[in-house]
Amino acid sequence: MKAVTWQGNGKVRVDNVDEPTILTPHDAIVRVTSTAICGSDLHMYSGYIPTVEKGDIFGHEFMGEVVEVGSAVSKVKVGDRVLVPFTISCGNCWNCRRGKTSLCDNSNPNAWMADGLLGYTCSGLYGYSHAFGGYPGGQAEYVRVAWPDTNAFVVPPELEDEQALFLTDIFPTGYQAAEQAGIEPGDVVAVWGCGPVGWFAIKSAYMLGAERVIAIDRIPERLERARLAGADIINFDQVDVVETLKNETGGRGPDRAIDCVGMEAHSMAPDALMDKVEQTLKLSFDRAHVIRQAIYAVGKGGTVSVPGVYAGFIDKFPMGIVVNKGLTIKSGQTHVHTYVQPLMERIRRGEIDPREVITHRLPLESAAEAYQMFVTKTDGCEKVVLKPGVAA
Amino acid sequence: MNASRPLTFLTGVALLGLGGALISRAFSSDDEDVGQHNAGAAVPYRAGERIEKVFTIDRPAADLYREWRDFENLPRIMSHLREVEVIDERRSRWHAHGPAKTSASWEAEIIADEPNERIAWRSIGGNVPNAGSVTFAPAPGDRGTELRVEMEWAPPGGPLGKTFAHLFAGGDPGLIVESDLRRFKSKMETGDVAVNGTDVKS
């Protein structure tokens, strides 16, 4: 079958590889009909995530048709049209049973690697390095799904692929970020990063009662999309973010800050330039300018919510600000399973149309070109949906 | 399991005996006064290597105890154990696959068996001297059971430890036992163990 494989920094290729097979009685094989490239794929693409190996199959946002199930699978059936969360849940450990599925104890077969990096592993993730499970991803014609009774959600026929696809990651990720920010009526929410996760965070913040959302980016198309989502916008290339936020909030600062940027922040600020040097020299995994700025800019007693991906240790972390302003920091990989049904309901009711974030639809064979476009943000590239089985 | 092959073997060793190394207790303290020499110890006091690993498993202690106490079950979890033969209530014989087509077997005896709380063991004679224990304690907050394994064996290099050192085949015994306990936890909680088909196979 065809699959998107990593070939080194800044290089992916569509390879012919073996089709996945049922490995345990609790497995299913899904024929992928739609799969998206995520901003977090770019962290791997560009070589910033450790334990990615040549030949690894990328892809953690995918959906399709179940074509085979193992003998212990009872709910999911061949022929079901399903979406699959990027965080893999065993469904039975203490965390999974409480809906904290991204903290699953049992789904990372390489837990020992992640334990070394993190102290304790998060759940296994599809197509996201060996430390996070080594699972072949879904940017492929077929993918093996572990514990499908817990991890495969049937998509009703009235929803087309592109409406449902982002329930695998970025809609729940933006929503969880807004939810864990603890938004209360009257709150002003600042969102750093207006890519697709930022867009979903803006939409979700309003769903949860935000009075006003202020969105920060520098790419005109992204800022325009944020504006259309109802946010006021700040272009950080043109104005001072901290001053502007202060002015815009009556001198209080935003009540909640959401960092949808993570480890590859772009800025000319001194701390950011130092981060760039350290990351290039492999002294640090992360360029952490946004989290520092968010902590500085947020108002007293505020919450900083971090859906953006950070990989490791950061320095110059402004802990004194956290202490003296009484801040709360919330983060986490997304407990996707907990949000799939309620957010699918919002899509069905027409409260949100996830298709608005899609800028490119391409055959799977065009993946190399798509990654290149996405990483350079050429042609307004914000969100690519790849279609396996569609002629190039 | 390819990656953890030499490792898993160790766990076999860990489970191997049953019975009770009070040795473990003596070793667990640095206090000189606690050094109660255990005349029957398989590993001479303070002469061995020691590891301790603990996992919280979201199942009642009784379930976990039952699974461990029925040693003939264990090769299904510990893929490098070929077979465990129960000889009688206290004694059993363990056969394990070592690396490079080698194998080893040894007899062990239970020296403590407190249902749902603790099993301890030591080897009897042979060239794989070891001892250990597994305890089952309720975890706070309805989180299941804290399963703790302590093991000791004669150090690599010494005459008694030669076989053991060989069986580790350069692996880290702590990681080996940890990996096996993690698989045991997954098996008990989900009925299965996660694999990815690439570096961890079923």
Is B198–A136 a contact, with Cβ atoms under 8 angstroms apart? yes
DSSP count for chain A of H helices, then E strands = 14, 15
Is B194–A133 a contact, with Cβ atoms under 8 angstroms apart? yes
- Identify the residue with better confidence: A222 or B29: A222
Considering only CB atoms, which chain B residues are within 8 Å of A108?
194
**How much is the pLDDT for B43?**
60
User: What residues contact B200, with CB distance under 8 A and at least 6 apart?
Assistant: A109, A110, A134, B1, B2, B3, B194
Which three-class secondary structure string do you get for B126-180?
A: CCCCEEEEEEEEECHHHCCEEEEEEEEECCCCCCCCHHHHHHHCCCCHHHHHHHH
Report the alpha-carbon distance of residue A146 to residue A84 in Å, rounded.
10
**Which B-chain residues 119-148 have CB contacts (< 8 A) with chain A?**
143-144
Q: How confident is the model at residue B41 (pLDDT cuts 50, 70, 90)?
A: low
**How much is the pLDDT for A20?**
98
Report the alpha-carbon distance of residue A118 to residue A125 in Å, rounded.
15
Considering only CB atoms, which chain B residues are within 8 Å of A107?
194
Considering only CB atoms, which chain B residues are within 8 Å of A92?
58, 189-191
Chain A nearest-CA residue for B55: A105
**How much is the pLDDT for B11?**
36
Chain B: closest CA distance from residue A248 (Å): 45
Report the alpha-carbon distance of residue A382 to residue A195 in Å, rounded.
7
Burial B173-191 (b: 16+ CB within 10 A, else e): bbbbbbbbbbbbbbbbbbe
* Nearest in space to B126 (alpha carbons), one of B82, B94, B78: B94
Q: How confident is the model at residue B179 (pLDDT cuts 50, 70, 90)?
A: confident
Residues with pLDDT less than 70, chain A: 391-392
Considering only CB atoms, which chain B residues are within 8 Å of A106?
185-186, 189-190, 193-194
Considering only CB atoms, which chain B residues are within 8 Å of A94?
56, 58, 143-144
Q: Is there a contact between B133 and B150 (Cβ–Cβ < 8 Å)?
A: yes
Chain B: closest CA distance from residue A386 (Å): 23
**How much is the pLDDT for B38?**
44
Strand A303-306 to strand A328-331: parallel, antiparallel, or no bridges (unpaired)?
A: parallel
pTM for the model = 0.88
Tokens 């940017």 sit on residue: A139
CB distance from A106 to chain B under 8 Å? yes
Considering only CB atoms, which chain B residues are within 8 Å of A24?
192-193, 195, 202
Q: What's the N-to-C CA distance of chain B in angstroms?
A: 6
**How much is the pLDDT for B14?**
38
CB distance from B175 to chain A under 8 Å? yes
**How much is the pLDDT for B9?**
33
Q: How confident is the model at residue B21 (pLDDT cuts 50, 70, 90)?
A: very low
Q: Which residues pair with B147 in a beta bridge?
A: B55, B136
DSSP count for chain B of H helices, then E strands = 6, 7
Considering only CB atoms, which chain B residues are within 8 Å of A130?
198-199
**How much is the pLDDT for A171?**
98
Q: Which two tokens stand for residue B132?
A: 């250990």
User: What residues contact B129, with CB distance under 8 A and at least 6 apart?
Assistant: B42, B43, B123, B153, B154, B160, B161, B164
Handedness of CA A336, A340, A346, A352 (dihedral sign): positive
Q: What's the N-to-C CA distance of chain A in angstroms?
A: 15
Q: Least CB-CB distance to B198: which of A97, A112, A134?
A: A134
Q: Which two tokens stand for residue A267?
A: 């800025």
Q: Which two tokens stand for residue A224?
A: 């325009």
Report the alpha-carbon distance of residue A290 to residue A266 in Å, rounded.
9
**How much is the pLDDT for A350?**
97
User: What residues contact A39, with CB distance under 8 A and at least 6 apart?
Assistant: A195, A196, A197
CB distance from A134 to chain B under 8 Å? yes
Chain B: closest CA distance from residue A107 (Å): 5
Q: How confident is the model at residue B108 (pLDDT cuts 50, 70, 90)?
A: confident
Report the alpha-carbon distance of residue B133 to residue B177 in Å, rounded.
13
pLDDT per residue over B57-66, tens digit each? 999 999 999 9
**How much is the pLDDT for B7?**
30
Is A23–B202 a contact, with Cβ atoms under 8 angstroms apart? yes
- Identify the residue with better confidence: A357 or B152: A357
pLDDT at residue B16 tops 60:
no
Q: Is there a contact between A103 and A37 (Cβ–Cβ < 8 Å)?
A: no
Q: How confident is the model at residue B79 (pLDDT cuts 50, 70, 90)?
A: low
pLDDT at residue B85 tops 60:
yes
Q: Least CB-CB distance to A24: which of B179, B192, B199?
A: B192
Q: How confident is the model at residue B45 (pLDDT cuts 50, 70, 90)?
A: low
